[in-house]
Chain A
């Protein structure tokens, strides 16, 4: 399939049309460059009153509240909330393990569609959207732009990457959290097969930098249930050593280990207050996004 066709295949118009009614809301105040629909930490020129502030020399006299001066004989400046846009950065994990999939879609293909749809939704509502693919490092990055034509660049980027090698997701996330100068919405789509303690460090880093982090944790049903019986030679998709094992022998311990890991990740997400979405590939990505968007609408914006 040509690259452009492949990129277009990531964006299903019907899905986007159905999701278009739901806004992509931020859970934190964003610092955008233009006016938008998200709350900003700064005062602005919206119609929503924010607070009174004492006049200091240099303030625009047009914003002086004369009525308050009449009542209190003091000079106050009337401030209003500012609405701004957000910058949404979609982070796609392109490590080798993302290439696994027992159904019609691999985790990576699922992640591509999810990431492309999220970027599309952001741009449609006037936000800036960008994308970053992470494999051994920062594989490729498209900076956030508000231009609708920029969606093509994002789709091309997502479509042009293939999962390979050992993932370096944790350093890449630290790097993104640190180098992104203003508050932004990060949508990370990954299987997060890393040490939960390191992952927790990443989440805390994003929180410290006041970014809004949404993490989509993709898992294949085969990985979750491990319904294998005959001896299998497992090849590590990230280049590690192969393992010959009888699934019947190790299934219980595998599942127990997986459950411990999932619980640790969930606990880290709760404690760092990130928007954590555990996703099975058996669930359609449209439903996943719908649940994600609805959850954000309910939580509302924060100033």
Chain B
């Protein structure tokens, strides 16, 4: 329990007043010589037990009455079963809102989703605590935005549902920066989240740093986590895995591959999937047994041989509507154009091979080999991937624009590293090991070395690296050698996909070309990512990539209640000039893995932190003032006291009779 007027708690000792008065009264007895002692002794003997209990009850009632008055004046807050320790007097309250799709999960008895419930709870709690200075830190906007009081939380359009995953460490960092820059006094940070692993990134190295920096702040910062960790019992998630347009003798058609997954095992069921293409609807049925079912190459005829357009897949309503829809767009696939920049043209053969053989035989690939000094005339706007095996460029202007537009850049070390930097990263020196080094650790959940669609891991551990070049600067390692040196890393400060491979494809340096699966898969993934911006139709993951490029998008299909400025974060089909873009949630959102409570608690170790697990179906408030209850309790105590103090009817009658019975 916490109090809005804690100073008034200094009056709590007044609760002892009835006891003190009783003791003083006991000491102020009068002395009386008495004759009829035998009746007094008998009365005292027979009434001792009851009288003592009654006396204690009266004292307890009086003490409770004073206690109730003092506590009511202190304006206590009851946080109920949730157990939050809320204190008044915070200068600012940061409300960190996880707007990820999983937060749209509804309760079993109410239609309220986790996000709306959490916002309502926090708004009510902030209103109860009297905090006026509220700042919203949502997982889409990320920057702290001032609100007109806690009530604005309920109506804030930038706190509505989104399709992009949240990045909690990043949001916390924003809060930290805001507190530092604005020199906020005592601050409260309210976090509303469902604790999904992909949102919290509990393994991120940013958390220890955040912990240390929050702990080092001179002002007090309290963290309140309002968690909704419960998962839906029966929830279906729909995702299209491949959309391919083909022209045959029967006409043009789309070949659609999709998966339907559910969160828990259950009996086999037929799941109707509604398919909408350019406004025309049809339905397919997926037989679901086990956790997941797939539909491969489901033909959908295109009316009039349409070359490009959009579509939507939908499931019947269930616990979470956010994963019941999937948008796609289709069109002519772009040419997979790769530019290979190499200081030695003879060494470019493995690079050309990996880039020129497309994984999809229907798609065209082109490779343009250039020397570093021959970059003029490169069609950057039509290029998806640049493989750079040369000293780092002196001018980054064309490359920076290329990367910023979504192009992918893979850099390999030159024969003689010269110390130049690119996005804060530079090659250091070649290092040769006696025995070929193996890859000790690599990231297989995302990026270039992720598992294949079937779930199999790439044989990265089979690679043998005889010689590698050192890397210095801010990078995110994707594969690390046994000695700890990065083999493949992503430039942390680059605006897009910029990768550094710390060896070459020469057999004397590494077995990348000989065991070509890893290299081929990585290059094809980079090409695919780079082509997304080039084709007429592109699929994007909400919240990934350049959000500013989405400013001119026009929504063609999708929820109508979402902000147009958040197009890159909201699922839907969009059109930008001649291009079609489909935005969908991240695949990680369908995994529904929840970070365990001890792990979450450990993230806030050493900080003033408390956590409350709430449910969408619960009717309890997070915090409310209970002075009325205490006043009622005080009145009840006074009534009890008065009842106990009333003279007994028999005694009153006996006295009333006067002298004789």
**Contacts from A to B (Cβ < 8 Å):** 96-100, 107, 191, 193, 220-221, 223-228, 230-238, 240, 243-246, 248-259, 261-262, 278, 280, 282
Inter-chain contact A251/B655, CB cutoff 8 Å: yes
Which 5 pairs, one residue from A and one from B, show the smallest C-beta to C-beta distance? A97-B35, A252-B651, A253-B43, A100-B35, A231-B29
Residues of chain A within 8 A of B658, CB atoms compared: 221, 224-225
Inter-chain contact B31/A255, CB cutoff 8 Å: no
Instruction: Decide: A254 near B40, CB < 8 A? Known: A232-B31, A249-B47.
Output: yes
Give Cα A181–Cα B535 distance, bound, in whole angstroms: 145
Q: Which residue of B lies closest to A235 (CB)?
A: B33
Inter-chain contact B35/A226, CB cutoff 8 Å: no
Inter-chain contact A250/B654, CB cutoff 8 Å: no
Give Cα A231–Cα B47 distance, bound, in whole angstroms: 15
| Residue in B28, B44, B647 with the greatest tally of chain A CB atoms within 10 Å | B44
Give Cα A245–Cα B660 distance, bound, in whole angstroms: 24
Give Cα A132–Cα B590 distance, bound, in whole angstroms: 112
Inter-chain contact A236/B37, CB cutoff 8 Å: yes
Residues of chain A within 8 A of B38, CB atoms compared: 193, 261
Give Cα A252–Cα B33 distance, bound, in whole angstroms: 20
8 pairs of residues in contact across A and B, judged by CB atoms under 8 Å: A99-B35, A231-B30, A237-B35, A243-B41, A244-B29, A246-B51, A253-B42, A278-B660
Inter-chain contact A257/B39, CB cutoff 8 Å: yes
Q: Which residue of B lies closest to A107 (CB)?
A: B35
What is the interface size of chain B, counting residues whose CB is below 8 A from a CB of the partner? 34
Give Cα A220–Cα B57 distance, bound, in whole angstroms: 34
Flag whether B659 is at the interface (Cβ < 8 A).
yes
Neighbour of B30 across the interface among A233, A240, A256, A258, CB < 8 A: A233
Neighbour of B44 across the interface among A238, A250, A261, CB < 8 A: A250
Instruction: Decide: A193 near B30, CB < 8 A? Known: A249-B51, A253-B43, A254-B40.
Output: no
| Residue in A235, A244, A254 with the greatest tally of chain B CB atoms within 10 Å | A254
Flag whether B280 is at the interface (Cβ < 8 A).
no
Residues of chain B within 8 A of A235, CB atoms compared: 31-34
Residues of chain B within 8 A of A230, CB atoms compared: 25, 28-30
Inter-chain contact A100/B34, CB cutoff 8 Å: yes
Residues of chain B within 8 A of A253, CB atoms compared: 42-44, 46-47
Flag whether B661 is at the interface (Cβ < 8 A).
yes
Inter-chain contact A193/B25, CB cutoff 8 Å: no
Inter-chain contact B35/A193, CB cutoff 8 Å: yes
CB distance from A54 to the nearest CB of B (A): 55
Residues of chain A within 8 A of B306, CB atoms compared: none
Q: Which residue of A lies closest to B46 (CB)?
A: A253
Inter-chain contact A226/B655, CB cutoff 8 Å: yes
Instruction: Decide: A255 near B651, CB < 8 A? Known: A224-B660, A233-B32, A280-B659.
Output: yes
Flag whether B26 is at the interface (Cβ < 8 A).
yes
Give Cα A234–Cα B648 distance, bound, in whole angstroms: 22
CB distance from A47 to the nearest CB of B (A): 45
Inter-chain contact B28/A258, CB cutoff 8 Å: no
Inter-chain contact A251/B30, CB cutoff 8 Å: no
Inter-chain contact B655/A227, CB cutoff 8 Å: yes
CB distance from A11 to the nearest CB of B (A): 26
User: Contact string, B1-36, partner A, CB cutoff 8 A, digits 1/0?
Assistant: 000000000000000000000000110111111111
Inter-chain contact B43/A257, CB cutoff 8 Å: yes
Residues of chain B within 8 A of A232, CB atoms compared: 29-32
Give Cα A289–Cα B51 distance, bound, in whole angstroms: 42
CB distance from A223 to the nearest CB of B (A): 5
Flag whether B650 is at the interface (Cβ < 8 A).
yes
Residues of chain A within 8 A of B628, CB atoms compared: none
Inter-chain contact A224/B43, CB cutoff 8 Å: no
CB distance from A232 to the nearest CB of B (A): 5
Residues of chain A within 8 A of B647, CB atoms compared: 248, 251-252
Q: Which residue of A lies closest to B55 (CB)?
A: A249
Inter-chain contact A254/B43, CB cutoff 8 Å: yes
Residues of chain B within 8 A of A100, CB atoms compared: 33-36
**Contacts from B to A (Cβ < 8 Å):** 25-26, 28-44, 46-47, 51, 54-55, 647-648, 650-651, 654-655, 658-661
Q: Which residue of A lies closest to B54 (CB)?
A: A249
Residues of chain A within 8 A of B654, CB atoms compared: 225, 251-252, 255-256, 259
Give Cα A237–Cα B29 distance, bound, in whole angstroms: 18
* Cβ-Cβ contact count across A and B, 8 Å cutoff: 128
Give Cα A259–Cα B42 distance, bound, in whole angstroms: 13
Q: Which residue of A lies closest to B659 (CB)?
A: A280
Inter-chain contact A223/B35, CB cutoff 8 Å: yes
Q: Which residue of A lies closest to B648 (CB)?
A: A252
Neighbour of A250 across the interface among B30, B40, B661, CB < 8 A: B40
Residues of chain A within 8 A of B46, CB atoms compared: 253
Residues of chain A within 8 A of B39, CB atoms compared: 254, 257-258, 261
Inter-chain contact B25/A191, CB cutoff 8 Å: no
Give Cα A278–Cα B659 distance, bound, in whole angstroms: 11
CB distance from A61 to the nearest CB of B (A): 61
Q: Which residue of A lies closest to B39 (CB)?
A: A257
Give Cα A227–Cα B32 distance, bound, in whole angstroms: 13
Q: Which residue of B lies closest to A101 (CB)?
A: B35
Additional 15 contacts, C-beta under 8 A, given A230-B28, A253-B47, A255-B650: A100-B35, A191-B36, A225-B658, A231-B28, A231-B30, A235-B31, A235-B34, A237-B34, A240-B37, A244-B29, A249-B51, A252-B43, A256-B43, A257-B39, A261-B39
CB distance from B281 to the nearest CB of A (A): 86
Residues of chain B within 8 A of A244, CB atoms compared: 29
Residues of chain A within 8 A of B44, CB atoms compared: 243, 245, 250, 253
Neighbour of A243 across the interface among B37, B55, B648, B661, CB < 8 A: B37
Q: Which residue of A lies closest to B31 (CB)?
A: A233
Q: Which residue of B lies closest to A98 (CB)?
A: B35
| Residue in A99, A233, A278 with the greatest tally of chain B CB atoms within 10 Å | A233
Inter-chain contact B661/A234, CB cutoff 8 Å: no
Give Cα A53–Cα B55 distance, bound, in whole angstroms: 78
Q: Which residue of B lies closest to A245 (CB)?
A: B44
Neighbour of B29 across the interface among A221, A233, A261, CB < 8 A: A233
Q: Which residue of B lies closest to A220 (CB)?
A: B35
Q: Which residue of B lies closest to A259 (CB)?
A: B661
CB distance from A252 to the nearest CB of B (A): 3
Instruction: Decide: A280 near B660, CB < 8 A? Known: A253-B42, A253-B46.
Output: yes
Give Cα A250–Cα B29 distance, bound, in whole angstroms: 15
Inter-chain contact A221/B31, CB cutoff 8 Å: no
Inter-chain contact B25/A231, CB cutoff 8 Å: yes
Inter-chain contact A250/B43, CB cutoff 8 Å: yes
Inter-chain contact A250/B51, CB cutoff 8 Å: yes
Give Cα A231–Cα B40 distance, bound, in whole angstroms: 13
Q: Which residue of A lies closest to B655 (CB)?
A: A225
| Residue in A98, A246, A249 with the greatest tally of chain B CB atoms within 10 Å | A249
Inter-chain contact A97/B31, CB cutoff 8 Å: no
Inter-chain contact A256/B661, CB cutoff 8 Å: no
Give Cα A240–Cα B55 distance, bound, in whole angstroms: 27
Give Cα A100–Cα B40 distance, bound, in whole angstroms: 15
Give Cα A228–Cα B36 distance, bound, in whole angstroms: 14
Residues of chain A within 8 A of B47, CB atoms compared: 249-250, 252-253
Residues of chain A within 8 A of B36, CB atoms compared: 97, 100, 191, 193, 223, 258
Residues of chain A within 8 A of B661, CB atoms compared: 259, 262
Residues of chain A within 8 A of B651, CB atoms compared: 251-252, 255
Q: Which residue of A lies closest to B651 (CB)?
A: A252
Inter-chain contact A238/B37, CB cutoff 8 Å: yes
Inter-chain contact A234/B37, CB cutoff 8 Å: yes
Residues of chain A within 8 A of B37, CB atoms compared: 97, 234, 236-238, 240, 243
Residues of chain A within 8 A of B25, CB atoms compared: 230-231
Q: Which residue of A lies closest to B25 (CB)?
A: A231
Give Cα A254–Cα B38 distance, bound, in whole angstroms: 9
Residues of chain A within 8 A of B29, CB atoms compared: 230-233, 244
Residues of chain B within 8 A of A98, CB atoms compared: 35
Residues of chain A within 8 A of B28, CB atoms compared: 230-231
Give Cα A248–Cα B29 distance, bound, in whole angstroms: 13
CB distance from B599 to the nearest CB of A (A): 61
CB distance from B319 to the nearest CB of A (A): 65
Residues of chain B within 8 A of A262, CB atoms compared: 661
Q: Which residue of A lies closest to B52 (CB)?
A: A249
